[in-house]
């Protein structure tokens, strides 16, 4: 039971606000949301395709397409795995690393805008609570892995 009426729907609304702001920041770096999130994941170290699919909530064909498009733009590259010749890793190119770092910094600078109208104390609380929700929630995963109703 939730005390605040409409909390669930408020979350969806809040998510739309964040998403729209994020899309705008991505566009300023000439990135789509999906390519931006991929880049942020691989900019510091390579990841396997399956791992990325799990983190991004994408099935295998979705990952293939996303990496295809991002690789075509010269931002990431596929490499072969050490121990499994079926697998491949995705890492950032120098250009991708630069753009990924710039995007990450810009997100940190501009996304907090959405809480600008809160009093400082409330905003501080919100920052802590958001961090707590993220910390206590198992990371993004396939929709299939989330609990049923």
Partner DNA sequence: TATTGTTATACTCTATAACTATA
Partner DNA sequence: TATAGTTATAGAGTATAACAATA
Interface ranges with a second copy (CB under 8 A)? 2-4, 6-24, 27-28, 37, 40, 57, 104, 106-115, 117-118, 122, 124-134, 136-137, 140, 143, 146-147, 149
53 vs 96 by CB, closer to DNA: 53
Partner whose binding site includes residue 94, from a second copy, DNA, none (CB under 5 to 8 Å by kind): none
Alpha-helix residue ranges (DSSP H) falling in the chain: 7-28, 33-42, 49-56, 60-72, 94-110, 120-136
Stretch that binds DNA, among 30-38, 94-102, 119-127, 132-140 (CB under 7 A): 30-38
Burial per residue of 55-71, b for 16 or more beta-carbon CB atoms within 10 angstroms, e otherwise? bbbbeeeebeebbeebe
Count of residues that interact with DNA, criterion CB under 7 A:
33
**Pairwise CA distance, residues 97 & 91, whole Å:** 9
């Amino acid at each position: 039971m939730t005390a605040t009426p409409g909390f669930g729907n408020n979350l969806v609304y809040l998510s739309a606000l964040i998403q729209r702001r994020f899309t705008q920041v991505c566009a300023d770096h000439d990135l789509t949301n999906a390519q931006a999130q991929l880049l942020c994941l691989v900019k510091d170290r390579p990841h396997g395709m399956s791992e990325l699919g799990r983190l991004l909530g994408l099935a295998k064909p979705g990952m293939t397409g996303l990496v295809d498009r991002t690789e075509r733009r010269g931002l990431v590259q596929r490499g072969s795995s050490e121990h499994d010749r079926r697998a491949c890793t995705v890492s950032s190119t120098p250009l991708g690393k630069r753009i990924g770092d710039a995007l990450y910094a810009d997100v940190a600078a501009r996304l907090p805008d959405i809480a600008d109208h809160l009093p400082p104390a409330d905003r501080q609380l919100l920052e802590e609570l958001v961090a707590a929700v993220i910390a206590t929630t198992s990371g993004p995963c396939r929709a299939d892995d989330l609990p049923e109703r």
